[in-house]
A and B are shown apart, each in its own frame.
Chain A
Amino acid sequence: MMQVQAIVLGNDWVNRRYKHMSVYAPQVAGLCQAGQFFHIRCSDDVTPLLRRPMSIYRYEPERGEVHFLYHVKGQGTQWLAARKPGDAVDLFGPLGRGFWIRPGWRRILVLARGVGLATLAPVARMAQEQGIGTIAVLSARTAEDVLSKDEMERFGARVMVVLDEDGTSEVAAVERLVREVVERERVDALFTCGSRRLTRLLQRVARDTGLPGQVALEENMGCGLGMCFCCVRPFWRGGERVNLRVCADGPVFDLSEVLEA
């Protein structure tokens, strides 16, 4: 990981709440892995003070590009939203432990909602690079809120969309869908991020089917590097309850270890 002054290439709205920012950062673009994040300075001053952790949406090493998809919500992301092409943005990363693929897997299922859709987009790329197929179930409020669909399809994922507006995203319905897909398509592993109820749903499916799973977690962070222990959450590991750092021990964890999803 390293600290770089990335140059903004584009920073455009993809819907009412999310922006897609691409930056030129050739020093770090080749280091990225799906599931990792950058700690981004979102201020010219001391308020807001802390960097913001932001997962990698896309990385293009050959073009020196890193992309982020972010929800414009508070002071920090509003500052970021105001950056224009040519502006510099201070990135520190890539940080944390990303998703992993086991040899012998042939097909994975990803289930995501909200900002988790951005985090899981590069999983399809990672899977395709290793000859593994991806089935993606993307959940959103409305059709307009569905993110990452094109990105996942670009890397060969088969995408299914479930929405609040037509009732298809209701937990029981999604669980039925996921169980059907897992059984029919002989899925080897489950991936999720960004929603507590979907994480719990996938934990149930993993437990009943014996499939391995991974989840990328989000937490407010201080340093992003593992020093401050501010982003700690409880996990079940090695037969005991332990506090692990989301930034340095994750952000991707084994689905079965997550206690407070």
Chain B
Amino acid sequence: MSGIDMTVELGGLRLKNPVMPASGTFAEELTHVLDISRFGAVVTKSVTPEARLGNPGPRVAETAAGMINAVGIQSKGADAFLAHTVPFYRRFDVPLIASISAETADQFAALAAKLSVDGVAALEVNISCPNLEDDGRSFAMDPGQTARVLEKIRRVTDLPLFAKLTPNTGDIVAVALAAEQAGADAVVIANTILAMAIDVETRRPKVGNGMGGLSGPAIKPIIVRMVYQAARRLRVPIIGCGGICSAEDAIEYMLAGATAVQVGTYTFLQPAGMLDILAGMEAYALRHGVTRIRDLVGAVEWPTRREQVSTNSSDRLGGGGGIMACGV
């Protein structure tokens, strides 16, 4: 044990550390590979009210430093989730966060009520999926829709609510604020970025659905920016999610303003990678004299104006004069 205090708090839920899997990249199978009790929490694949088949294949295409998936939420439905998934995770000493997905706001509320049972520590509301009441757009593309669905869910459950936002919006801060005002206890920033890849030999899209969601290290700088922008305005904590492949990536998200992080695609490359990330975060804290990991949240430092002027001038003029620094 390093003696570093790794605990963080998310909307009343205390986690032993800030690392958890991203929804859809984790399942019971991983318990055969590593001790999931060491995670801060586990997050299930999104469950829908009824069983769903998901999209036709192919469902995955590799891209530069990333992958596009078009799984389309294949789900066994809420009854199977309550009968099998919740009891399965009871044997592990780790909070279970149930990711929920539905096609209308009322369906979301009914599902949230149904899953507010003993053994579920929090609900992650996947509002990045299509909203049938809004012509198939994601709830989280729009602040009004985000508020509408979260208000309905808030009324039917006392569990902590984590709103999983989409990066496919023009104003992530407005959507995050809407989620907060509607009762979300934390926001997850973010889901995958809408993307497309075409096979130039066959001239067909590389995933069966035509478009899909881009994840992996390719998207990390975009999501870090969104976390930073939202963190300046929100009171509730942020869970950063997008392209984390190392302890340094996780620390970067925390410096930008995330209280916790979710690791997704990286688990496909390194099944036990989350534990390496945890160990690396402790090593980072030791190296930097950080005794409480939560002290890193939002601790990005900006150079002073004087430093900026001096850096700019030396960069551009090789340390010569100040003309360029004046904005020429």
In angstroms, Cα B30 to Cα A248, docked, is 12
A sample of 18 cross-chain residue pairs with beta-carbon separation below 8 angstroms, ordered by A number, consists of A3-B272, A46-B65, A46-B245, A47-B65, A50-B269, A51-B269, A220-B60, A221-B60, A223-B25, A225-B33, A226-B29, A227-B26, A227-B27, A228-B25, A229-B45, A229-B74, A230-B60, A231-B57
CB-CB nearest 8 A-B residue pairs: A230-B60, A227-B27, A46-B65, A223-B268, A230-B59, A226-B29, A225-B29, A46-B217
User: Who on chain B is nearest to A260 by CB?
Assistant: B57
| Interface residue B24 (Cβ < 8 Å from any Cβ of A) | yes
Judging by beta carbons under 8 Å apart, are B54 and A50 in contact? no
In angstroms, Cα B216 to Cα A223, docked, is 13
| Interface residue A201 (Cβ < 8 Å from any Cβ of B) | no
Using Cβ atoms and an 8 Å threshold, which residues of chain B touch A50?
A: 60, 62, 67, 268-269
Judging by beta carbons under 8 Å apart, are B27 and A47 in contact? no
Q: Which of B269-300 contact A (CB under 8 A)?
A: 269-272
| Interface residue B66 (Cβ < 8 Å from any Cβ of A) | yes
| Interface residue B181 (Cβ < 8 Å from any Cβ of A) | no
Interface size class of A (residues with CB under 8 A): 20 to 34
In angstroms, Cα B57 to Cα A109, docked, is 30
In angstroms, Cα B57 to Cα A230, docked, is 8
Q: For the complex, would chain A's binding face be called helix, strand, loop or mixed by DSSP majority?
A: loop
Q: How close is B195's CB to chain A, nearest CB, in angstroms?
A: 14
Using Cβ atoms and an 8 Å threshold, which residues of chain B touch A230?
A: 59-60, 69, 71
Among A41, A47, A92, A231, which residue has its beta carbon within 8 angstroms of that of B60? A231
Q: How close is B247's CB to chain A, nearest CB, in angstroms?
A: 16
Q: How close is A169's CB to chain B, nearest CB, in angstroms?
A: 24
Judging by beta carbons under 8 Å apart, are B59 and A229 in contact? yes
Using Cβ atoms and an 8 Å threshold, which residues of chain A touch B29?
A: 225-227, 248
| Interface residue B91 (Cβ < 8 Å from any Cβ of A) | no
Q: Which of B48-77 contact A (CB under 8 A)?
A: 53-54, 57-67, 69, 71, 74
Q: How close is B242's CB to chain A, nearest CB, in angstroms?
A: 14
Using Cβ atoms and an 8 Å threshold, which residues of chain A touch B69?
A: 222, 228, 230
List residues of chain A with CB under 8 Å of any chain B CB.
1-3, 41, 46-51, 92, 219-233, 242-243, 248
Using Cβ atoms and an 8 Å threshold, which residues of chain B touch A219?
A: 57-58
Knowing A229-B54, A229-B59, A233-B57, the reply to whether A49 touches B66 (Cβ < 8 A) is yes
Q: How close is B77's CB to chain A, nearest CB, in angstroms?
A: 13
In angstroms, Cα B57 to Cα A219, docked, is 9
In angstroms, Cα B70 to Cα A231, docked, is 11
Using Cβ atoms and an 8 Å threshold, which residues of chain A touch B26?
A: 227
Q: For the complex, would chain B's binding face be called helix, strand, loop or mixed by DSSP majority?
A: loop
Q: How close is B265's CB to chain A, nearest CB, in angstroms?
A: 7
Number of interface residues, chain B, beta carbon within 8 A: 35
Q: Which of B229-279 contact A (CB under 8 A)?
A: 245, 265, 267-272
Judging by beta carbons under 8 Å apart, are B60 and A222 in contact? yes
Q: How close is B126's CB to chain A, nearest CB, in angstroms?
A: 15
In angstroms, Cα B265 to Cα A226, docked, is 14
Using Cβ atoms and an 8 Å threshold, which residues of chain B touch A51?
A: 268-269
Q: A222-B60, A227-B29, A228-B25 are in contact. List 11 more A-B contacts (CB 8 A).
A: A1-B33, A41-B269, A47-B64, A49-B66, A50-B67, A220-B58, A227-B45, A228-B60, A230-B69, A230-B71, A232-B54
In angstroms, Cα B61 to Cα A219, docked, is 11
In angstroms, Cα B29 to Cα A248, docked, is 9
Q: How close is A218's CB to chain B, nearest CB, in angstroms?
A: 11
Among A41, A223, A232, which residue has its beta carbon within 8 angstroms of that of B74? A232
In angstroms, Cα B25 to Cα A227, docked, is 6
Using Cβ atoms and an 8 Å threshold, which residues of chain B touch A229?
A: 24, 45, 54, 59, 71, 74
Using Cβ atoms and an 8 Å threshold, which residues of chain A touch B66?
A: 49
User: Who on chain A is nearest to B273 by CB?
Assistant: A3
Judging by beta carbons under 8 Å apart, are B271 and A231 in contact? no
Q: How close is B149's CB to chain A, nearest CB, in angstroms?
A: 24
Most chain B CB within 10 A, of A48, A51, A230, A231, is at A230
Using Cβ atoms and an 8 Å threshold, which residues of chain A touch B27?
A: 225-227
